[in-house]
Amino acid sequence: MKSSIQTSNPVRIGMMSLGCPKTLVDSEVILGKLQGEAYTLVPSVADCDVALLNTCAFIEDAQQESLDKILELVALKKEKQIRALIVMGCLVQRFPKDLQEQLREVDAFIGSGDYAKIPEIVKKVTGGGKVFSVGRPGYLGNAGESRVALTPKHYRYLKISEGCDHVCTFCSIPSFRGKHRSRTSEDVLREAQSLVEAGAREIILTGQDTTYFGRDLTGRFLLPELVRELGELKGLGWLRILYAYPSCITRELMLAMRDVERVCPYLDMPLQHASDRMLGAMQRGITKRRTLDLIREFRATVPELGIRTTFIVGFPGETEQDFEELLDFMREIRFERLGLFTYSREEGTPSAGLPDQVPEKIKQERWHRAMELQQEISRANNAQLLGRKTEMILDEKHPDEENTWIGRTRWDAPDVDGNIFLKSSQALEAGAFYQAKITDTRDYDLVGEL
């Protein structure tokens, strides 16, 4: 017997968004479609009528986190703390039938490309119905769609493209996000303007590969032009670029980052390895020599450039020599920001079938060695900032420490990089920019005063 949600009040909607900023933007668009008299948005999924879970399926750990959250919400539904559960996004797009067969308590499954249907799907599940909607992957919004901020309003993510055309052998993302599709520059500019008018002081460009922006529409890499146009927006303080693919970085992008004052000198460029043997096996489309030349040229062009990258250790066939080459590369470049992953053997990817899979114990041992090295590098990089003055954006008041505020420098993106802890007894404003003097340094964070 179907159980509908009987209420004369608006249906309470709760959202939990997992994974990357691209998914977060999707979640904001989804909530934007549920505004109105029929719905009210609540801050927690623990006590609502309809719980929405937007999942991640990037690697095994992300998939497990998504499954754990689904089971937590199923338990809340059994306890009648929530009435209906809708699971959506990348995990559903990647494993649609498995989830539908194994999680019958879920009221609706929605793929990563079907978010436009969310109002009618919510209406069906509140009436006691079940829905399964998985079509083409990867939803790409536009400036005409409303978004409900899931970040502080002073920084907002702006998704300029969807999907990916690269053929990295370890990556499953094209299977559940689809081929690369760019928005038009005009549409991106319209949305950026509306975000600034709504209070955004920092805009963070995101996409699976932001450097490929425009190539599918015009045959040219249009990110440099877009950066220059966004730099003219009145009221914008900072512009930050995420997920630059190394083989698609152009001289024009370097010059745009140098010339546009509002662009943070921050290059988020996942490299994945430094051994030519591993780069070839990964099909990254770039060599170690070309990578070194690219970094040197970029650092020479953009003053005070901070580079964030990610590496994978334990890729199939990685030898101790390959790994030592990666460590030597880290010592030479001394990356300001760095993330490390152990290789995840993803179903359906070319690398999953490669011989010489590295044992988990060796993966973990190499991860720890590389992390220890990066900790030393980060500590030394931060020590060079002691006594310097730098611009920062204030994010929030520290929840536990009196007269302490939490913010970020131009070299720090939200959630993934370090913070600056600002000591001040003054009443400061979240979202405002301040000049701070660095008075102490930690492994990954800074301490400063006005």
Instruction: Give the pLDDT confidence of 127-143 residue by residue, as tens digits.
Output: 999 999 999 999 999 99
Residue with tokens 């249907």: 117
CATH 2.40.50.140 maps onto the chain at 389-449
pLDDT, residue 391, reads: 97
pLDDT, residue 65, reads: 97
**Listed residue (85, 100, 24) closest to 52, CA to CA:** 85
Strand order in the sheet with 306-313: 155-159, 202-206, 238-241, 263-268, 306-313, 337-342
The mean pLDDT value for 336-354 works out to: 96
The mean pLDDT value for 193-201 works out to: 98
Q: Collapsing DSSP states into helix, strand and coil, what is residue 406?
A: strand
pLDDT, residue 7, reads: 55
CATH 3.40.50.12160 maps onto the chain at 11-133
Round to whole Å and give the CA distance between 100 and 92.
9
Per-residue exposure over 92-120, b if at least 16 CB sit within 10 Å of its own CB, e if not: bbbbbeebbeeeeebbbbbbbbbbebbee
Q: Are 407 and 393 within 8 A, CB to CB? A: yes
Give domain 11-133's CATH number out of 3.30.870.10, 1.10.10.410, 3.90.850.10, 3.40.50.12160: 3.40.50.12160
Own/partner long-range contacts of 107-111 (Cβ < 8 Å, ≥24 apart):
107/131, 108/84, 108/132, 108/133, 109/133, 109/134, 110/86, 110/134, 111/135, 111/136, 111/137
- β-sheet bridge partners, residue 438: 448
DSSP code of 143?
T
Round to whole Å and give the CA distance between 110 and 120.
12
- Tens of pLDDT, residues 427-437: 999 999 999 99
**Listed residue (44, 43, 30, 34) closest to 11, CA to CA:** 34
Q: Collapsing DSSP states into helix, strand and coil, what is residue 289?
A: helix
Residue with tokens 């939990």: 16
| Residue 17, Cβ density class (10 Å: 0-12 exposed, 13-18 middle, ≥19 buried) | buried
pLDDT, residue 436, reads: 96
Q: Can you read off the two tokens belonging to residue 7?
A: 């209420």
Q: Can you read off the two tokens belonging to residue 99?
A: 């989830």
Axis crossing angle, helix 223-230 with helix 251-259, rounded to the nearest 10: 10
- Tens of pLDDT, residues 390-448: 999 999 999 999 999 999 999 999 999 999 999 999 999 999 999 999 999 999 999 99
Round to whole Å and give the CA distance between 88 and 191.
24
What CATH number should be reported for the domain whose range is 155-383?
3.80.30.20
Q: Are 170 and 341 within 8 A, CB to CB? A: no
DSSP code of 357?
P
Residue 4 banded pLDDT, cuts 50, 70, 90? low
pLDDT, residue 1, reads: 39
Residue 131: partners with Cβ closer than 8 Å, 6 or more residues away: 86, 107, 108, 109, 110, 121, 124, 125
Which amino acid, one-letter code, is at 430? A
DSSP code of 153?
T
- β-sheet bridge partners, residue 72: none
CATH 3.80.30.20 maps onto the chain at 155-383
pTM: 0.95
- Tens of pLDDT, residues 236-250: 999 999 999 999 999
Residue 283: partners with Cβ closer than 8 Å, 6 or more residues away: 166, 167, 168, 169, 350
Residue 299: partners with Cβ closer than 8 Å, 6 or more residues away: 305, 307
**Kind and range of the H or E element at 340?**
strand 337-342
The CATH topology of domain 389-449 is OB fold (Dihydrolipoamide Acetyltransferase, E2P) (2.40.50)
Residue 20: partners with Cβ closer than 8 Å, 6 or more residues away: 56, 58, 206
pLDDT, residue 297, reads: 98
The mean pLDDT value for 27-39 works out to: 93
Handedness of CA 383, 386, 390, 392 (dihedral sign): positive
CB neighbourhood size of 399 (10 A)? 7
Residue 14 banded pLDDT, cuts 50, 70, 90? very high
Own/partner long-range contacts of 400-408 (Cβ < 8 Å, ≥24 apart):
407/434, 407/436
